[in-house]
């Protein structure tokens, strides 16, 4: 399932971070810091440990050796980079993804390191790692242990660290199809490989970024143009996903490498590069992993990170297994984590089964299991990790899949649970408390667990059974500590969720484009803009000037609070007279605001929509004395007694709500509207015809408001024609029952019915250009082409020699206005061209009077709503509530 994966075709890179948009826009923006470091512990010391493991005497088993254990974490990214990411994807949450796999190694920077310590320099695989759970644990030779100790005790840097970590995502798409014989492809690639059949990823992309003549074995068909660089990157992604394997790089070339196995592929491959393909990106990190530990050693001594463990000798046949896990620490909800070892009886060597359980001590990442085999049998065993964790109803134990091994070191990577580490930045918790709900599915059944974060508890770790739905969701609500303001955001984390103010789309930089009016009369207007949290009184707003030449301008602001990210604006004319007052608070994601002050010719520019006693009405343009109407509010369906057919039945903790609605006008009000229109137009009342406007009801919803949360209790279609009746039978959760009861007792804003409608309308515009063609022969003789004549017309309009008039619907699109204006300009230019050439066919062609009319059908969406509290008065609502057993 590719939804939620990073989309490698949409990338923003900065000095210390890289970000990818989610594929298909489903999920969060993946932000990856490009720095790696040893993680600090709660006491401020680095999570870095060295241990010498030896027997009771230098000659006793086990043979003396060392162990290193360090926990890594990525750094942070700069605020400026987060602002850039927010500007690229303004409405997206930002999370850090999971590394799929990787390699970690130390590298020698000095020839002092003896070759006997080569085990320290060998890359160690790391798999399934969360950004907050990068742990490196390995056994070392005494020489390697000594090399690290020396590096810690000296100022001279003789070792650094290098990590290569893989992030899964979706490859860029190109409108290209390639066809080839895989044997030809492999032969061409083998010329680029080293002796170990490895090569840098970049070399592969560069090879296919050449002119296509460099790889004649590919048949390439393109539907649209593409660049060679795009082709090289995309095709290399497909080749790596199909044939290659991520592999550690050579010591002397620290960049992403891949391995090409021997292949006997035959036939013809046909790849459509426009299809989504799951691939990967390899990120490399070079850093000093000893820096913080070295500082600690030089100030507090080596024993702060170094210890010795004496192991008693084993009897013949015993196997000692070192078991390590990668958890940075046990979450509070984890009661135990351990490993069970098993080996079945093996007669005649051993008649008893081996059953051994190792439980990790809190704070320790390693334990030792001793398994008793017969000296005459192979030391083969099975192991399975298990986790005991606390749930809302008690405790639960889950065991992972057993694995076979004969190794003396077992690394536990795949626990039977998923861990979600959640933490919040201090600046966020100084402004808000966080309430979250992590949701997933198991076998189609929804599951969830709640959590809270505050200044006193800035982090937590959730434990959920593994094997849930691929795209689990975490809903986080931030509640202001200074007010009742709330902001809710959904995240799709894959192991770690680090929240800061930038995690909420409202905080940070925003921009909006203001588009000016299209009429010449309003050729200059001024727009004042203010962020939401700035007061109107005494404000110093940003000022934008819109003219006919520059009718569009962009305003940018920075929302300092995630709870108040919006803006407001007002419009003035050139003399400072207010044309539009300060607006309501606008969403920061509105994108474009069309500034449309009242038109001078209101009769031409108005849509004719008027209001009378709860009814909208407007002229039917196709019939004389015919009008359409729309009720402002739907009504309850009533019974024979005239009361709403609404009932709330409560059985135990569950409620059931039944109600019916209609969208119609009262007959008495219709007759009053008929008389009102007749009086307005001096017509006989009997000549006025009224009809329900031609609208389509897309759906009808019953919506309950609980606190700041809105919830759709039920959704239905309507009867499809007036009165558009709709009937609902909805279950009501216990938390929502109080809101329904309050609505029945005339408390507004608790329960409502929404009719979501679409109305198609024909919007028309007209552009007229009129005036006399001046008889200035010298200048007209220069008008030798239609483009030159068009330029002359535009200049004549600007200077006032020609008059341009625009009339029509203010709901018409800008494209329609532009099309009408272009047509009028072309017609006027043709007339000027004929006049300039002397091919005048009519005497009145010395005067221009061209008219361009355009029409379009637009769909206007509207919601007509009614508050259920207005259906009742006094104690009428009580009779509609029934309490059952």
pLDDT surpassing 90 at residue 595? no
Q: Which residue matches tokens 């955001």?
A: 489
Most confident of 107-111, 548-552, 714-718: 714-718
Rounded Cα distance, 312 and 529, in Å: 77
Q: Which residue matches tokens 């992993």?
A: 289
Rounded Cα distance, 416 and 649, in Å: 44
**If pLDDT is split at 50, 70 and 90, which confidence band does 447 have?**
confident
Spatial contact of 581 and 557, defined as CB atoms under 8 Å apart:
no
Q: Give the pLDDT confidence of 809-846 residue by residue, as tens digits.
A: 766 777 788 888 889 988 888 888 887 776 554 445 66
Q: Give the pLDDT confidence of 29-80 residue by residue, as tens digits.
A: 899 999 998 888 877 889 899 999 888 877 767 788 888 888 888 888 888 8
Q: Which two tokens stand for residue 646?
A: 């609404």
Considering the segment(s) 418-503 as one domain, its CATH architecture is Sandwich (2.60)
Spatial contact of 847 and 773, defined as CB atoms under 8 Å apart:
yes
Q: Give the pLDDT confidence of 774-818 residue by residue, as tens digits.
A: 643 445 556 667 878 887 887 788 777 788 888 877 667 777 888
Q: Which helix (H) or strand (E) covers residue 234, if one does? A: helix 228-243
Q: For 508-598, give the CATH class.
A: mainly beta
Q: Which two tokens stand for residue 391?
A: 């749930």
Mean pLDDT of the chain: 84
For residues 133 and 625, the model is more confident at: 625
**If pLDDT is split at 50, 70 and 90, which confidence band does 603 have?**
very low
Q: What is the pLDDT of residue 1?
A: 47
Q: Which of 541, 540, 544, 539 is nearest to 514 (CA)?
A: 544
DSSP letters for 565-603: --EEEEEEETTS-EEE-PPPPBPTT--EEE--PPPSSHH
623-642: average pLDDT: 88
Rounded Cα distance, 428 and 439, in Å: 23
Spatial contact of 556 and 527, defined as CB atoms under 8 Å apart:
no
Q: In the chain, which residues fall in CATH 2.60.40?
A: 314-415, 418-503, 508-598
Q: Give the pLDDT confidence of 327-378 residue by residue, as tens digits.
A: 666 677 788 889 999 999 999 888 899 999 999 887 777 888 989 999 889 9
Q: Which two tokens stand for residue 417?
A: 């649970």
Q: What is the pLDDT of residue 843?
A: 47
Give the global pTM: 0.59
pLDDT surpassing 60 at residue 132? no
DSSP letters for 514-544: EE---SGGG-EEEEEEEETTS-STT---EEE
641-650: average pLDDT: 86
- Angle at 512 (CA atoms; ends 511, 515), nearest 5 degrees: 150
Spatial contact of 73 and 35, defined as CB atoms under 8 Å apart:
no
108-133: average pLDDT: 70
DSSP letters for 55-95: ESSTTSSSPPEEEEEEEEEE----HHHHHHHHHHSTT--EE
Considering the segment(s) 314-415 as one domain, its CATH architecture is Sandwich (2.60)
Q: Which two tokens stand for residue 664?
A: 């119609």
Q: Give the pLDDT confidence of 264-315 residue by residue, as tens digits.
A: 778 899 999 999 899 999 999 998 888 889 999 988 999 999 999 888 777 7
Q: Give the pLDDT confidence of 460-496 residue by residue, as tens digits.
A: 888 888 776 556 788 899 999 988 888 988 888 876 7
Spatial contact of 260 and 186, defined as CB atoms under 8 Å apart:
yes
Q: What is the pLDDT of residue 433?
A: 94
Spatial contact of 353 and 340, defined as CB atoms under 8 Å apart:
no
632-641: average pLDDT: 88
């Amino acid at each position: 399932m590719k939804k939620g994966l990073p989309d490698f075709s949409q990338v923003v890179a900065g000095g210390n971070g890289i970000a990818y948009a989610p594929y298909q826009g489903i999920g969060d923006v993946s932000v990856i810091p490009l720095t790696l470091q040893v993680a600090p512990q709660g006491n401020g010391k680095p999570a870095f440990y060295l241990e010498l493991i030896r027997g009771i005497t230098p000659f006793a088993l086990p043979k003396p050796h060392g162990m290193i254990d360090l926990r890594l974490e990525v750094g942070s990214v700069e605020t400026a980079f987060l602002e850039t990411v927010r500007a690229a994807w303004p409405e997206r949450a930002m999370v850090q993804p999971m590394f799929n796999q990787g390699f970690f190694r130390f590298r020698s920077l000095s020839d002092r390191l003896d070759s006997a310590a080569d085990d320290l320099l060998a890359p160690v695989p790391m798999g399934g790692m969360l950004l907050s759970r990068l742990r490196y644990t390995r056994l070392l030779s005494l020489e390697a242990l000594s090399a690290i100790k020396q590096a810690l005790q000296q100022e001279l840097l003789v070792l650094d660290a290098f990590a290569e970590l893989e992030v899964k995502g979706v490859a860029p798409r190109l409108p290209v199809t390639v066809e080839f014989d895989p044997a030809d492809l492999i032969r061409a690639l083998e010329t680029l490989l080293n002796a170990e059949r490895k090569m840098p990823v970049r070399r592969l992309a560069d090879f296919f970024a050449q002119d296509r003549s460099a790889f004649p074995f590919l048949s390439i068909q393109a539907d649209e143009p593409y660049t060679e660089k795009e082709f090289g990157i995309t095709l290399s992604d497909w080749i790596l996903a199909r044939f290659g394997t991520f592999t550690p790089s050579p010591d002397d070339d620290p960049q992403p490498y891949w391995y090409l196995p021997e292949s006997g592929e035959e036939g013809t491959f046909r790849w459509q590069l426009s299809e989504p393909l799951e691939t990967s990106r390899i990120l490399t990190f070079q850093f000093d992993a000893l820096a913080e530990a070295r500082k600690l050693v030089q100030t507090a001594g080596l024993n702060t990170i170094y210890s010795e463990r004496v192991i008693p000798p084993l009897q013949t046949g015993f196997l000692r297994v070192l078991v390590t896990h990668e958890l940075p620490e046990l979450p509070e909800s984890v009661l135990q984590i351990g490993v069970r070892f098993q080996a079945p009886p093996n007669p005649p060597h051993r008649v008893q089964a081996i059953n051994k359980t190792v439980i990790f001590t809190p704070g320790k990442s390693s334990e030792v299991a001793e398994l008793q085999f017969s000296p005459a049998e192979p030391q083969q065993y099975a192991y399975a990790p298990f986790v005991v964790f606390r749930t809302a109803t008690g405790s639960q134990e889950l065991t992972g899949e057993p694995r076979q091994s004969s190794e003396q070191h077992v690394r536990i990577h795949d626990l039977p649970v998923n861990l979600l580490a959640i933490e919040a930045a201090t600046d966020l918790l100084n402004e808000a408390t966080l309430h979250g709900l992590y949701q997933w599915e198991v076998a189609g059944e929804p599951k969830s667990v709640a959590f809270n974060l505050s200044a006193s508890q800035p982090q937590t770790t959730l434990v959920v059974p593994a094997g849930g739905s691929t795209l689990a969701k975490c809903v986080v609500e931030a509640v202001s500590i200074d007010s009742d303001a709330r902001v809710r955001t959904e995240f799709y984390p894959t192991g770690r969720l680090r929240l800061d103010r930038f995690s909420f789309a409202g905080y940070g930089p925003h921009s909006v484009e203001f588009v000016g009016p299209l009429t010449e009369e309003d050729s200059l207007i001024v727009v004042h803009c203010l962020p939401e949290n700035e007061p109107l009184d005494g404000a110093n707003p940003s000022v934008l000037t819109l003219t006919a030449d520059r009718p569009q301008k962009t305003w940018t602001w920075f929302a300092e609070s995630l709870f108040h990210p919006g803006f407001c604006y007002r419009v003035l004319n050139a003399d400072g007279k207010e044309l539009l007052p300060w607006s309501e608070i606008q969403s920061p994601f509105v994108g474009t605001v069309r500034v449309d002050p009242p038109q001078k010719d209101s009769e031409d520019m108005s849509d004719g929509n008027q209001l009378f006693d709860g009814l909208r009405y407007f002229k039917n343009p196709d019939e004389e004395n015919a009008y359409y109407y729309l009720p402002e509010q739907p009504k309850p369906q009533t019974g024979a007694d005239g009361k709403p057919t609404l009932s709330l039945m409560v059985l135990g903790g569950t409620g059931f709500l039944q109600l019916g609605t209609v969208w119609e006008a009262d007959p008495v009000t219709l007759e009053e509207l008929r008389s009102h229109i007749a009086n307005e137009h001096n017509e006989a009342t009997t000549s006025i015809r009224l009809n329900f406007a031609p609208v389509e009801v897309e759906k009808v919803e019953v919506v309950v408001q609980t606190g700041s949360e809105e919830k759709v209790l039920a959704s239905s279609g309507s009867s499809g024609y007036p009165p558009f009746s709709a009937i609902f039978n909805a279950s009501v959760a216990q938390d929502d029952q109080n809101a329904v009861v309050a609505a029945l007792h005339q408390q507004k804003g608790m329960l409502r019915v929404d009719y979501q409608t679409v109305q198609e309308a024909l919007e028309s515009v007209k552009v007229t250009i009129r005036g006399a063609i001046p008889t200035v022969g010298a200048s007209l003789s220069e008008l030798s082409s239609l483009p030159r004549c068009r330029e002359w017309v535009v200049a004549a309009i600007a200077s006032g020699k020609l008059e341009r008039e625009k009339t029509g619907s203010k709901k018409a699109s800008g494209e329609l206005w532009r099309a009408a204006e272009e047509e009028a300009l072309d017609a006027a230019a043709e007339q000027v061209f004929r006049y300039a050439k002397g091919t005048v066919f009519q005497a009145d062609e010395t005067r221009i009077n061209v008219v361009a009319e355009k029409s379009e059908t637009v769909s206007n969406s509207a919601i007509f709503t009614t508050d259920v509290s207005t259906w009742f008065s006094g104690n009428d609502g009580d009779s509609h509530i029934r309490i059952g057993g």
